[in-house]
Amino acid sequence: MMTKREPPVTAAELAARLQASPEFIARQQERELALAKRVARHREEQAPIVSELQEAGIQLRFLRDLLTRSVPYPTAVPILLKHLALPYSDVTRETLARALAVRDARYAWSILAAEYRKAPTGEENGIRLGAKSGLAAALAAIATENVMDELIAIAKDRSHGSSRLLLLRVLKKSKSAAAKQAIEELASDPDLKKEIASWRGGR
């Protein structure tokens, strides 16, 4: 005797069942509370930086506001660099680094390259560390042909992991023979080969 197969559960039905589950609701509330606490903790940590930026004439409420700002903020760069050297949380360091991904920070290449080399990869308490990627974004934004040799050396160093993906666009844009050679060599790098192969596939 054949049993009647139940119709598959739709995504909407599954979501409705979960929403009606006391256990699911409790877990969701717990996650939301933990997120709110993390946000509050980071804002408290960043308050002195925000205050210093405001004193320098930069209008913002939160540090992250710099990431969506369309007006240049050259007076903020020295302040951001000073705080980047301090022992803040990974989240704050990532925000500082991404805020330094502007042309006005080009003079600080050596500082940002040193911070990138020191920044750890991986996870902390189950959360992906983002400062290294933020610093890679800053390096990619401020790199010029004058620092290409150092950027190539960084890109070839596998200890920096997948954050180096952000550096590839600089190599791709460069007209130097060294950059083109570096791309050929990096085409077999486990962290970078998929991205480089996608360029070739699009030719």
DSSP H stretches of helix in 105-161: 109-118, 131-142, 148-156
Q: Give the pLDDT of residue 203.
A: 46
Q: What are the boundaries of each domain within the chain?
A: 24-142, 144-203
Quote the percentage of the chain above a pLDDT of 90. 71
Is 167 a residue whose pLDDT tops 90? yes
Is 43 a residue whose pLDDT tops 90? no
Please classify residue 159 by burial: count the beta carbons closer than 10 Å to its beta carbon, then call 0-12 exposed, 13-18 middle and 19+ buried: exposed
At 123, the amino acid letter reads E
Q: Give the pLDDT of residue 30.
A: 67
* φ, ψ for residue 179, nearest 5 deg: -65, -45
3-state secondary structure of 200: helix
**For helices 165-173 and 131-142, angle between their N-to-C axes, nearest 10 degrees:** 10
The pTM (predicted TM-score) of the whole model is 0.81
Per-position b or e across 63-79, b if 16+ CB within 10 A of its CB = bbebeeeeeebeebbeb
3-state secondary structure of 148: helix
Lowest-pLDDT range of 93-102, 106-115, 123-132: 123-132
DSSP 44-111: HHHHHHHHHHHHTT---SSGGGGGG--S--GGGHHHHHHHHTS---HHHHHHHHHHT-SGGGGGGHHH
> For residue 144, what is the DSSP state?
-
Going by pLDDT thresholds of 50, 70 and 90, the confidence category of residue 16 is low
Q: How many Å apart are CA 203 and CA 47, to the nearest integer?
A: 48
Return the bridge partners of 124, or none. Answer: 127
pLDDT digits (tens, 9 = 90+) for 53-97: 999 999 999 999 999 999 999 999 999 999 999 999 999 999 999
